Amino acid sequence: MFALASLIFQFLGGPVAKGLIDAYNLHLKATTTDKQTAANLAGQEIAAQVAETNAITQLKIAQIGHPWEPEKLAMYITLIYYAKCIVWDKVLGLGTTDVVAGPIAIWAGLIMSFYFTKRGAENVSTIISAIRK
């Protein structure tokens, strides 16, 4: 049974799976209490590393958010327009785009200003809160 589980974990790979197999092998081979304690500590350390990795991932998701939030969707549209104007029209010289004027131009500027100001304020507040701790 253990050989089959070992083969499956080795097939799936990764340092966590290898660490779990090594810890379990140490636990099986342990004959003294010192070796059993070392094997148990190795298993607990791997579990702590997995929990820490999951916590870091959750923190990154919480800080960055999701790519389909409204302000990001509006920014994507604005970026696509500017990329088309700069790359397609100016750099490659393959077309022309009408000038954005009137309320649309104001809204595009406001969207970009809001996005960069929002992210800048979030970054500054994160730095200030880290300094205060």
As a whole number of angstroms, the distance between CA 53 and CA 47 comes to 10
Range of the domain at 16: 2-61
What is the number of structural domains in the chain?
2
Number of neighbours of residue 39 by Cβ within 10 angstroms: 19
pLDDT, tens digit, 9 for 90 and up, residues 85-103: 888 888 888 888 777 788 8
Q: Which domain-ending residue is among 37, 61, 85? A: 61
Q: Do 125 and 70 have their domain in common?
A: yes
Q: Do 70 and 46 have their domain in common?
A: no
Q: Do 14 and 55 have their domain in common?
A: yes
Q: Do 85 and 119 have their domain in common?
A: yes
Q: How confident is the model at residue 26 (pLDDT cuts 50, 70, 90)?
A: confident
Q: Do 73 and 128 have their domain in common?
A: yes
Cα→Cα distances 23→18, 26, 59, Å: 9, 5, 28
Give the pLDDT score at 12: 58
Q: Do 49 and 76 have their domain in common?
A: no
Q: Which of 109, 103, 102 has its CA nearest to residue 81?
A: 109
pLDDT, tens digit, 9 for 90 and up, residues 60-79: 777 777 777 777 787 788 78
